[in-house]
Structure 1
Amino acid sequence: MDHKARAVVNVGRILKVNHAGEHGAVHIYAGQILAVRLRAKALAKELADFKTHEENHRAIFAGELQRRGLRRCRSYWLCATGGYVLGIASGLLGDKAVAATTIAVERVVIRHLQQQLADIGNSDPAATSAIMQILKEEQHHHDHSASRLSDPRRLDRAIDTVVSCATEATIWMGMRL
């Protein structure tokens, strides 16, 4: 397989994993929305807005997969299940845990999206456009949550470490399934 053909396969894989990741993000917010009703009701509207953003991101990547005739990633339902469990757990721990979770996930996602843009370059304008549409909102989620967590507790730092590692592992696994 020549270099150009490999790049097309890699872009397809990137789009599949991004689509699955956005599906996971939708479920993180769904789980958090369910759980904050018990601990931090004031967050429900904000989380619903973030969930809507993630649903739009998922649709953008789904459109790219459909346009290319690609099936979704094998990790699609794993991302949903893990995301939902993470959402419920962080939501039950309260508003600071929700913020710490969002910060950790988005920091990893932003780094990966930026690396994808560098890797893809000008070789696939449609993929580049899809990623760029999403990057700004992911940064907003991160920054908004960071503004709510000005003084992280020990639990928040632990959540950050665990969630960052889990997000990295999920992306790594998705790229290999």
Structure 2
Amino acid sequence: MEVFAKSMSADLGDRIIKVNHAGEHGAISIYTGQIFMARLTARALLGELIEFRSHEQRHRAIFGAELQQRGRPRCRSYWLCGLGGFVLGVLTGLFGSTAIAATTVAVERVVLKHLEHQLSILRGHDPAAVAAISAIVAEERQHHDQFAGHLRTGTFWPSVLTPVVSASTEAVIWLGMRL
């Protein structure tokens, strides 16, 4: 029974690492699309967007290295995350700084919830996955908190984008875990 439990937790850890790797690719693509549009609509955010994209590139490398060490291929949702992320980034970047901030806050809120859940179920079962996930949590929180500071309550974009972006992020994670 113990061997079965270890095998299940290793498989779960593998799937989580694969989905997180694809998710980081999606995040890079969101920031890339936002950077592209922010040059026209939100120049004041360019420095933060470029910095945060570099964080996401490092996060993707952490999960990529862990996948390689495990001998696992990337998630089949990898390119879907990239394409969807870029489209989301361009569209929200088109609408300026408040839409960019609302998108980042919505995505990061969902991501942080999933990361905390992943850590709770993998602790004691998959130390390498826990280490990889733990290595990125602080920067993901920084992205959330810093962009939350750009939002004003009662504005249009947060109320429209938050439910759509949150639901889309949840759906991509759900799909990735099943591919």
Q: Which runs of 5+ in 2 are unaligned?
A: none
CA distance in 2, matches of 1:163, 1:55: 21
Report the more deviating stretch, 98-107 or 152-161: 152-161
Match of 2:132 in 1: 130
1:4-44: per-residue Cα shift (whole Å, max 9, x none)?
11111010000000000000000000000000111111111
Distance, in Å, in 2 between the alignment partners of 1:17 and 1:31 is: 21
* AA in 1 matched with 2:78: Y
Say if 2:98 and 2:157, in contact at 8 Å, map to a contact too.
no
Higher alpha-carbon deviation: 111-120 or 155-164: 155-164
Percent pairwise identity = 54
d(CA) in 2 for partners of 1:56, 1:122 = 25
2:21 alignment counterpart? 19
Candidates 87, 92, 114, aligned match of 2:116: 114
1:35 corresponds to = 37
In the other structure, the counterpart of 1:101 is 103
Q: Distance in 1 between matches of 2:41 and 2:71?
A: 43
Q: Which residue of structure 1 aligns with residue 146 of structure 2?
A: 144
Paired residue secondary structure (2:170): helix
Cα separation, 2, equivalents of 1:152 and 1:99: 14
Q: Alignment partner of 2:73: what SS?
A: coil
Q: Which amino acid aligns with 2:141?
A: Q
Matches within 5 A, 1:158-169: 158-169=160-171
SS class of match (1:148): coil
Give the equivalent residue in structure 2 for 1:79.
81
Given that 2:102 and 2:157 are in contact with CA atoms closer than 8 Å, whether structure 1 keeps it comes out as no
Structure 2 residue 55 is matched with structure 1 residue 53: yes
Gaps of 5+ in 1: none
CA-to-partner distance for each residue in 1:102-150, whole Å, 9 max, x for gaps?
Answer: 0000000000000000000121111111101101100000000111103
Q: Distance in 2 between matches of 1:131 and 1:139?
A: 13
How far off its partner does 1:152 sit?
Answer: 4.0
Runs ≥4 in structure 1, deviation > 4 angstroms? none
Q: Take 1:32 and 1:75, find their aligned partners in 2: how far apart are those partners?
A: 21
The one-letter amino acid paired with 1:53 is: H
The 2-side partners of 1:161 and 1:126 are apart by 33
Q: After alignment, is 118-127 or 84-93 more displaced? A: 118-127
User: How many equivalent pairs are there?
Assistant: 177
Q: CA RMSD in A?
A: 1.0
Q: Tell whether 2:65 aligns with 1:63.
A: yes
